[in-house]
Amino acid sequence: MATSNDLLIKQRPVIEFLAAEGCSAANIHARMKTVYGEMCISDCAVRKWLTVEMKAQRKDMCTPLFEHYNAEGEAFLQRILTGDESWVHHYDPECKAQSMAYRHKTSPSPRKFKVVASARKILFTVSWDMEGVVYMGFLEQGQTANSE
C-alpha cells in the first residue's frame, strides 16, 4: 500500500503529462480526483504546479546543490541534514493505576466516561543525516530550537 507522500509524489508527473496534452488545470484536477479520490492534491496545488514561475524557482534552488554534488560527490551528501516536526499531545497519567494501564499491550483499555486528549501539546522534532537519526526531542510551547 502506497503512503500518502508516495501518492503526492506520483501526481506531479501526471499533472505535467496532462498539461502537455493541453488539459486545463480544472480538468486535470477532476480527472485525478477520480483516480486518487481523497488522496488527490487540491485544485489550488494543481494550478500552482503548472506555473512557469514554480519550475524556475525549483531550478534556481536545485542548480547550486547539483553543482556542489558535482564538485564534492559523496562528501556533499554526507553533510546534508534534514528534519521534520509535529505537534503531539502530552499526557501525564493522574495516578499509578492509570499509568499501569498503558504498559501492557494485551490488557484492555481503561474505561472512562470522558477521554481528554491532553493537558497540552508539545512539538516533537527529529533530524537525520545519511547515517541515521542525529537528534530527537520535544519542545514546549514558547521554546525555540536552535543549532545547539
More confident residue, 3 or 75: 75
Question: Which residues contact residue 46 at a Cβ distance below 8 angstroms, ignoring those fewer than 6 apart?
Answer: 15, 25, 28, 29, 32
Label residue 31 by pLDDT band (50, 70, 90): very high
Tell whether the model's pLDDT for residue 89 goes beyond 80: no
Q: What pLDDT shows up at residue 33?
A: 93
For 132-142, what is the mean pLDDT? Answer: 86
Tell whether the model's pLDDT for residue 97 goes beyond 50: yes
Give the side-chain half-sphere CA count within 13 A for 83.
Answer: 16
Label residue 34 by pLDDT band (50, 70, 90): very high
pLDDT in tens, 119-134: 677 888 899 998 999 9
Label residue 69 by pLDDT band (50, 70, 90): very high
Contact present, 93 and 102 (Cβ < 8 Å): yes
Across the chain, mean pLDDT equals 80
Whole-prediction pTM value? Answer: 0.45
Q: Where are the domains of the chain?
A: 4-72, 81-139
3-state class (DSSP) for residue 121: strand
CA distance 84 to 136: 10
Q: What pLDDT shows up at residue 9?
A: 82
More confident residue, 16 or 71: 71
